[in-house]
Amino acid sequence: MHHNNVLILDFGSQYTQLIARRVRELNIYSEIHPYNKIPASLEDFKAVILSGSPFSVRADNAPHPDLLQIRGKKPLLGVCFGAQYLAHFFGGNVSPSNTREYGRANLSYIKEGEEFFENISEGSQVWMSHSDTIKELPTHGVLLASTNDVENAAFKIEGEQTYAIQFHPEVYHTKDGKQLLENFLVNIAKVEQDWTPDSFVEETISELKEQLGNDKVVLGLSGGVDSTVAAILLNKAIGKNLYCIFVNNGLLRKNEFKNVLTQYEGMGLNVKGVDASARFLDALAGIDDPEQKRKAIGRAFIEVFDDESHRIEDVKWLAQGTIYPDVIESVSATGGPSATIKSHHNVGGLPDFMKLEVVEPLKSLFKDEVRRVGASLGIDPELLGRHPFPGPGLAIRILGDITPEKVRILQEVDAIFINGLKEWNLYDKVWQAGAMLLPVNSVGVMGDERTYEKCVALRAVESTDGMTADWVDLPYKFLQKTSNEIINKVKGVNRVVYDISSKPPATIEWE
């Protein structure tokens, strides 16, 4: 779809997706492909980046790509494992480090006059994460930078546009990482910075028109950013042939079914509301395993859509608001060696009985990119600023089995928490917030009476794309007021705690 691509070869690093995001922040489109599935044609790729990896280049099972069509023919940047790969297999030497080199470091030496390090000074902080080290540079290797502990922190190969760095420019802790990527991609590789929200909209609508033609498409709306942006894109591409359905799965926030339907009035979308709450709650009865809950909701979701799609004559496509992190966390990041974290209800295809093809116009975008595309489409900023809400809804915020009473309790708690964030002008400072109903009762006292009721955990995080997140340091007075209000107003709750876990090691949702 794009003509100025950067190819990122994934060796299984936890940071590979961050490389893609950093490149896109430069208005340059990047695609991630597994190291063992290099595209047959590299004509549209203007530069290539080799990612890090949990493997050692010295191991027998280490990734070993064929770079014959890349090295010396395309501008090439090796990052961490990628740098060690270029050293180990091309005349250099990589050995185990005496100590694991992990964390912050500072560049103690930078070769003068190097375009690769333009506007970057000695002392610049970088982030290391490796257990091997490059002892000898590859054939024709030229040292470009060092730290106090790592002599060969960066090098180039003379006579070609091949560069390598032992540190990670994509992580936040490398202060000049974006500048380094810009130096490589823009100044050295001459990649044009032409991938913008406007260009994405234009090209995606054109692609959807070609893909869908005069076919009818059914789309599940959730009221959130992703499905709304997907709906507007599809509406611009196929107009009246788009049929939007908003399903009440009985696991929405308080009054959300009514509020979302009202929200879509006047947006020019053909929306039908379907109350299937009883069907979902029946499907979840007695299930307490998180993965089984997600799968039960996914099955019920598909069944509802199958029923509704049969009411639309000749519908051929099911549209979904799937975004990149959904795909990354549900399966191997790119078909490479990464690990599955959890399944997502809208990822993984459709059952055989449902004769619809899937169209996912946002599946290559991160959440922040979806918001920028939404702004380009003129969508209400208040809607675009809405916190992400999980597809399975409150089911994965109720630990243990699901009952209507537990849903009621959590809806009330959630409403108090979210409304409080808005009243205290904290909502827009938080990327995502919600409450979790824990499967424990604890002793309390109210009005001189002993209580034995539920505990809820409040969660608020700051993030850019959901791949990593830090807990938000909410004011104590806000937490105090919110806790008092929940305990006083929500029957069945006598204890409130606040989650101060970051992602990783925790996930944002508890299930």
Query: Coil, strand or helix: which one is 392?
Result: coil
Among 399, 472, 459, smallest CA distance to 433 is for 459
CB burial of residue 68 (10 Å; 0-12, 13-18, 19+)? exposed
Token pair in block for residue 505: 């090691």
Strands (E), 420-469: 432-446, 449-462
Calculate the CA 475 to chain-centre distance: 28
Scanning 98-224, the segments in alpha helix (DSSP H) are 177-182, 197-212
- Residue 433 has φ and ψ, to the nearest 5°, of -145, 150
Among 39, 51, 46, 43, smallest CA distance to 11 is for 51
CB burial of residue 265 (10 Å; 0-12, 13-18, 19+)? exposed
Strands (E), 166-296: 216-221, 242-248, 271-275
Catalytic residue among 88, 101, 130, 170: 170
Please tell me the distance from the alpha carbon of residue 502 to that of residue 190, in angstroms, as a whole number: 38
Catalytic (active site) residue 170 = yes
Token pair in block for residue 193: 């910075």
Catalytic (active site) residue 244 = no
Catalytic residue among 130, 168, 344, 345: 168
Query: Coil, strand or helix: which one is 488?
Result: helix
Rg (CA), the chain: 25
Cβ neighbours for 31, distance < 8 A, ≥ 6 positions apart: 5, 6, 7, 8, 20, 364
Catalytic residue among 80, 182, 256, 369: 80
Catalytic (active site) residue 357 = no
Long-range contacts of 258-261, Cβ-Cβ distance < 8 Å, separation of 24 or more? 259/223, 260/221, 260/222, 260/223
Cβ neighbours for 234, distance < 8 A, ≥ 6 positions apart: 208, 217, 219, 242, 319, 359, 361
Please tell me the distance from the alpha carbon of residue 134 to that of residue 88, in angstroms, as a whole number: 8
Cβ neighbours for 270, distance < 8 A, ≥ 6 positions apart: 240, 242, 243, 244
Token pair in block for residue 497: 């705690």
Please tell me the distance from the alpha carbon of residue 21 to that of residue 325, in angstroms, as a whole number: 11
CB burial of residue 301 (10 Å; 0-12, 13-18, 19+)? buried
State the residue for tokens 């979904």. Answer: 320
Please tell me the distance from the alpha carbon of residue 281 to that of residue 250, in angstroms, as a whole number: 7
- Give the active site residues: 80, 168, 170
